[in-house]
Structure 1
Amino acid sequence: MDSLERISRIDRSLLSGEHYLSTLLEQAYLTEVLTAPQIEAVQMACLSVLARQTQLYNGMESSSVRVEDAEEILESVLFTIGVCLKEYGNAEDAALALIREGAEALFARGGKRIDRMLKTTKLFHAGLVRRLMETPNVFYRSTVEDGINGFFQLYRPQFGAQQIHITADYPLLHPVADLAGIEFIREYIERVDCENQFCTCFSPVTIHALLCGLPVDYRELPLNLCGPVLTAALGSVLCGKNFYSLRLSAEDLADLKEKLNGRGKSELLPLLQAAFEKMSLALSLRRRTEEYLAAALPGIAAEIENAVRTDTLSGILLMTRLPRDGYRPV
């Protein structure tokens, strides 16, 4: 009975990670967890927090600010309260906390949680930078190191907790969506860490030779480096070759095409999953990295199915090309 009582009337999957509070209030109203007067009281309480924050913004001299600044500060207030409410595993409990605890207390707790998140993310980022893979791609290190450091320098959670400031030019295998502020940066860094852990299992020169098989110069392009490496490694396993080399020949691709011809995505996916499990075991990947990479397998299966059908497998499973630039990792 107790487990049944804990079922929330609010479906958390309908809540926005970026605009958690506003979507929580909307769903709380639609599911009758909160009444219209209660929601209005919450909104007024948030405006009271805004008034105090604008005074702090002006050095306690006045509560008058430009409309644009007031909108930014209000968004920061709502975001900070939302960060606190995410601590509740049950979304209905989170909605009721707005009435029981009040916006002011939730804002203070959310601010402390953001401060902790900021400190731990800085430490995690510093460790990631020390173990970043070597690559001549200009966007990888410039984003992961310089760009993220730029965020830390500009981030002011007291009045702009929702701001990101940077563009995160390096694209991920799985882009971060529906998050803002430090939550976005933390998730971005954690995903980069998963990709980096996998890629550092291979020689930088080997990865460079593989990516030189692209029809364009990958060094000057904002493209994901992990995806081609993962696909080539899986292809090597399917061919019965040493996946550390990432080296597939035209003959390998011809054999693979014959082996996979006529197989749909539903048949290709189990093959890729078995190949991935074998490779993951050999590489001793962390669980989070395993789960992150495994989530890409359905997409890779669909790409391979299409490539076999259209005779374009070499565009998915790259063949290494001997670099002529004399690149050597530092």
Structure 2
Amino acid sequence: MNFETEELLPIVAELADKYTGKESTSITYEKARQLMEAVLYCIHEYETDPVKSQELLTMDGKTEAKRIYSLGYEAVLRNVKEAQILYNKIIPDFKYYENWCYYDTFAKGIPSFFLYYDPRFQPQNHILTLDYPVLYPVNSLRGIDAISAFVKCVSLEQGFFGKMPDEYVLHVLRAYSTDHGELIINLAGIVLRNILGCRMAGKRVNTQGYTPGELERLINYVKRHKTASLEQEMEGLVDELVRSVYDGQDEMGDYLKADLHDYCFELKNAVKNQCLDSILAI
């Protein structure tokens, strides 16, 4: 939904009045630009809001723009509330497995967002850098959209971790790097890669290494497939894992599959160069 700049200026003027408490008749160019971005952000939130009204607005342009902005602002507030509810559900049992980037971003950073986020005058600013790399790209998102997507990703990861012993998760992370706690890495991807490695090798998922026979089965499995075919095989293994262990949670399956393209490329390369221990707890 596109509006002309003159249709949005009255909304920006109202925001400026609220921002200054009507004690000033002027604001800086930078602040005016920030407020215009705030208006555009809220309008975008209305356009992407799944619960928005489907009624056709037949008002004149300026009134229509203001109404859509107001509905978008309400959507921003609703999204903040939903993200906070989900966050509060996750945090009591949140596990970060010695990784400080995970802990600092989620356990320390997200509360700061809820404390300092300004949905009225700067909804486009999500304040945090979101250093922990979730499997879905969130860097292109802004404001509550970025935080909401990030919290949902962490929710899926924590659900994924919740079905396996802590000692196994720590085992594969420590095998990945003795400095895993200091690295900016996605933990779920590393754990999934090892589970899939076990499946390919016909090995039980445990903290024991691979026998020579299991390692040979794994290598032969990878060699039998080209990268694209291997990726399809891995998608099938993820589907099987989600059905058998996670009650068929398609959303979790889709999230975990986001790492498969890179995994299969690295797996083929590791077999070719005889360095499987660089990506698996061999």
**TM-score, L = length of structure 2:** 0.89
For these two proteins, the number of residue pairs brought into alignment is 277
For 1:197-276, what aligned pairs fall within 5 Å after superposition? 197-243=159-205, 245=206, 247-249=208-210, 251=212, 252-261=214-223, 263-276=225-238
Residue 254 of structure 2 is matched in structure 1 by: 291
Residues 302 and 142 of structure 1: CA distance in aligned 2, closer, same or farther (over 3 Å): same
Residues 241 and 223 of structure 1: CA distance in aligned 2, closer, same or farther (over 3 Å): same
Q: Which runs of 5+ in 2 are unaligned?
A: none
1:241-265 deviation digits (Å, cap 9, x = unpaired): 222x254426233431133225211
For 1:158-177, what aligned pairs fall within 5 Å after superposition? 158-177=120-139
Question: Per the alignment, in what secondary structure is the counterpart of residue 158 of structure 1?
Answer: coil
What is the identity, as a one-letter code, of the residue corresponding to 2:243? L
Residue 326 of structure 1 is matched in structure 2 by: none
Equivalent in 101, 108, 116 of residue 146 of structure 1: 108
What is the identity, as a one-letter code, of the residue corresponding to 2:69? F
What is the identity, as a one-letter code, of the residue corresponding to 1:181? G
Equivalent in 106, 114, 128 of residue 90 of structure 2: 128
TM-aligned CA deviation for residue 98 of structure 1:
9.0
Contact 1:173 1:224 in 2 (8 A): yes
Task: Return the alpha-carbon distance in structure 2 between the equivalents of residues 175 and 132 of structure 1.
Answer: 21
For 1:27-38, what aligned pairs fall within 5 Å after superposition? none
Question: Per the alignment, in what secondary structure is the counterpart of residue 102 of structure 1?
Answer: helix
Residues 63 and 94 of structure 1: CA distance in aligned 2, closer, same or farther (over 3 Å): farther
Residue 324 of structure 1 is matched in structure 2 by: none
1:65 partnered with 2:27: yes
Provide the identity percentage: 25
**TM-score, L = length of structure 1:** 0.77
Contact 1:139 1:169 in 2 (8 A): yes
Residues 293 and 123 of structure 1: CA distance in aligned 2, closer, same or farther (over 3 Å): same
Question: Per the alignment, in what secondary structure is the counterpart of residue 184 of structure 2?
Answer: coil
TM-aligned CA deviation for residue 224 of structure 1:
0.9
Residue 280 of structure 2 is matched in structure 1 by: 317
Contact 2:8 2:62 in 1 (8 A): no
Residues 125 and 304 of structure 1: CA distance in aligned 2, closer, same or farther (over 3 Å): same
Q: Which runs of 5+ in 1 are unaligned?
A: 1-23, 26-38, 320-330
What is the identity, as a one-letter code, of the residue corresponding to 1:277? D
Task: Return the alpha-carbon distance in structure 2 between the equivalents of residues 188 and 247 of structure 1.
Answer: 33
1:275-303 deviation digits (Å, cap 9, x = unpaired): 22222222125221112112332332222
Task: Return the alpha-carbon distance in structure 1 between the equivalents of residues 108 and 202 of structure 2.
Answer: 40
Task: Return the alpha-carbon distance in structure 2 between the equivalents of residues 88 and 138 of structure 1.
Answer: 35
RMSD between superposed Cα atoms in Å: 2.5
Residue 32 of structure 1 is matched in structure 2 by: none
Question: Per the alignment, in what secondary structure is the counterpart of residue 152 of structure 2?
Answer: helix
